[in-house]
Amino acid sequence: MLQIIVNSWNDRLLRLAFLCIMLMGIAVAAINPFQSVIGIERLGFSNAAYALVTTVGALFSMLASVAVGIYTDQTGRYREFLMGCTAVGIVAASCVFFLPAKATFVLAHMVLFPIASTTFTQYFAMASLSAADNPKLDKDVSLSLVRAAFAGAFGLTPPVLAIAVAGGMDLLSVYGFVACINVFVLLLVARSWPRDQSALNKQSGLGFFASLKEVSDPAVMIRLALVAIIIGVNALYNILLGLLILNNLGGSESDVGWFAGGVALVEAPVMLLAAAMLRKVTRSGMIFVGVIIYASFIAILASLPGIANAWIMIIPGGIGAGILLSVTVGYVQDLMAKRPGAGSALVSVSHFGGTMFAAGVFAASSTFTDYAGVAWIGCVLALMAGLVLFLLDGGQLRKGPKVQRG
């Protein structure tokens, strides 16, 4: 396992993807834990309006990611898209930072950030390409390393910002921080990404609509919908965490950052352990175990009497999230194993579905129950989806022995 990790770091393309997604993780981690607090508590969006913003933004991100994924499969050209989308991310963060208002928040989160977020899936596409081209690499480990880089950055950033917020920093300053991080990503891609992309130029040979038809196969869509509901419980957690801590648990804004960072720090090593376990455990089995742990974590967190009782929940939260957020990437990619760009774009589709699921549950449930009730409803639905996916794939937890064919 250690040698595979060393080989992964020595692979130039995978190393660059690792560094870029780590910086992207810092940017996302700066905003995500505080986004609902800024939108609802600071700028005055209603619960339904905020849910609409996140849903439309996720839809646009999904459509953009699918289009980019199919096109990069056709052309093998990644560098230009990464630079352009990162530049859009700079503009998005700058808009909210310099002109904080409902209008700029909507523009950034419904249009600009969704365009910028298409880079996320393309980093996974390039990790898959690296593993396919380098026999010393293991795909599950490569994907988990990239995902762990994102989680590790997510673990370190919120606590640092929590200290800054506790010291008097305004929450809206996180957008200025994100703009600076995106500048670093743009410079890294511009200076270090290989200009000669002939090694990556593996064209699918399919037209756009033929590729789209392949992506929309019913067998793919059914599993994708179930995965979306499963990881949607994480999107629901992102919406609810700040609101639960401030309104139900009696915590502070800085507690939101500390808690989110603690969960993410636990996630990173779990992702690597999950990749190793996939040699003996089926992906759908691992996902089912992950959703049981994660849904239980959220349901219990929502029911606790105060913030002092909540800190221990960081451990099961990180374990469940680490399993779900890493194993589902490989599962979704393998639905389109021969199309790394489109397969990775499906990761964005699953995240859109998860965001739509979370926003729908939040908007509908919050009309008749409190934030704890919203959490319980979302967790029950995610558990049901995990069970269905597990049974649909044969209901086996352990991988069977390979059959020798003569």
Q: Print the SS3 string covering 240-308.
A: HHHHHHHHHCCCCHHHHHHHHHHHHHHHHHHHHHHHHHCCCECHHHHHHHHHHHHHHHHHHHHHCCCHH
Lowest mean pLDDT among 85-89, 211-215, 282-286: 211-215
Q: Is the pLDDT of residue 1 over 60?
A: no
- Tokens representing residue 12 in the block: 């130039």
pLDDT of residue 208: 45
Ordered by where they begin, the domains of the chain are 11-392 (1.20.1250.20)
CA distance 57 to 61: 6
Q: What six digits make up the tokens of 20?
A: 């870029």
pLDDT score of 404 more than 50: no
Spacing of C-alpha 55 from chain mean position: 15
pLDDT at residue 189 is higher than 80: yes
Token pair, residue 102, equals: 């409902």
As a whole number, mean pLDDT of residues 109-129 equals 80
The pLDDT score that the predictor gives to residue 88 is: 93
* 197, pLDDT greater than 60: no
Residue 16 pLDDT greater than 90, yes or no: no
Sign of CA dihedral 72, 15, 324, 394: positive
Position 325 pLDDT exceeds 70? yes
pLDDT at 388: 94
31-45, 87-101, 135-149, 189-203: least confident range: 189-203
So what's the pLDDT on residue 13? 74
Structural contact between residues 88 and 64, judged by C-beta atoms closer than 8 angstroms: no
The mean pLDDT value for 316-332 works out to 87
Q: Is the pLDDT of residue 211 over 60?
A: no
